[in-house]
């Protein structure tokens, strides 16, 4: 792929997809759909890395893309699905605020990110949009964590945040050293496993995966 203009186009396209999958989280009602949205998000992320790898021709980026697909696109969704089955929770997401409001709030979040990062000086070149999108994805992930009641949706929110961060890292450095990428990926994997175990434990202890019950733990 030597045509730069097309490359820009592809990158923008994929970035938009990333944002869209994140925003869609606000509208989804079933946990399984949320996991699917995340899977899609991860695949999109991997393909973005792949495109950048094609452009830069750096081999380690190919590896990064591959690992991303493997871990975030396959392993984590499988694991999440298993947890959901194991916990036998109701399949509704049960947000605190209804879909319309949360969609509008995420729109506001994206707007805030776009305006505040519109003329940030430290970003050069084609990846400026990607940075804005990555921060927006991050904030939406956080927002999802806030508004969702169940432990599993919290995990998904966290994973979105992580994807956002990963993207931000790429947009700023056009590819971090492989060892850091590997470290981060491993971290996320472990984090998800631990959180999954916690979620199961919470469910077992409080007979509910509703995090509100944790309020009683404070001193």
Residues binding another protein (CB under 8 A): 96, 109, 112-113, 116-117, 119-120, 135, 139, 142-143, 145-147, 154, 211-212, 214-219
User: Nearer to another protein by C-beta: 3 or 216?
Assistant: 216
The least CB distance from residue 160 to another protein, in Å, is 13
Cβ(143)–Cβ(158) under 8 Å? no
The least CB distance from residue 218 to another protein, in Å, is 3
The least CB distance from residue 115 to another protein, in Å, is 8
Where does 29-75 have alpha helices with state H?
Answer: 31-56, 59-68
User: Nearer to another protein by C-beta: 82 or 213?
Assistant: 213
User: Nearer to another protein by C-beta: 172 or 211?
Assistant: 211
Distance, CA of 32 to CA of 111 (rounded, Å): 28
The least CB distance from residue 215 to another protein, in Å, is 4
Query: What are the tokens at 14?
Result: 């994929």
Cβ(133)–Cβ(167) under 8 Å? yes
Query: What are the tokens at 137?
Result: 């994805």
Residue 148 sits at φ, ψ, to 5 deg, of -105, 145
User: Nearer to another protein by C-beta: 1 or 207?
Assistant: 207
């Amino acid at each position: 792929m030597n045509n730069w203009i097309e490359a820009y186009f592809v990158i923008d396209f994929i970035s938009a997809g990333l944002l869209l999958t994140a925003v869609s989280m606000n509208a989804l009602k079933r946990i399984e759909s949320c996991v699917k949205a995340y899977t899609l998000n991860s695949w999109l992320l991997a393909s973005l890395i792949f495109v950048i790898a094609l452009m830069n021709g750096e081999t380690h980026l190919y590896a990064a893309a591959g690992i991303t697909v493997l871990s975030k696109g396959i392993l984590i969704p499988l694991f999440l699905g298993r947890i959901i089955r194991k916990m036998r929770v109701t399949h509704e997401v049960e947000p605190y605020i209804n879909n319309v409001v949360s969609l509008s709030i995420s729109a506001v979040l994206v707007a805030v990110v776009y305006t505040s990062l519109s003329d940030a000086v430290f970003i050069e070149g084609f990846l400026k949009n990607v940075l804005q999108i990555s921060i927006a994805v991050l904030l939406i992930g956080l927002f999802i964590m806030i508004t969702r009641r169940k432990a599993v949706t919290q995990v998904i929110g966290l994973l979105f945040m992580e994807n956002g961060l990963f993207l931000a890292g790429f947009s700023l450095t056009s590819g971090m050293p492989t060892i850091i990428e590997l470290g981060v990926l491993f971290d996320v994997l472990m984090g998800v496993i631990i959180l999954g175990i916690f979620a199961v434990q919470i469910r077992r202890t409080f007979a509910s995966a509703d995090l509100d019950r944790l309020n009683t733990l404070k001193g």
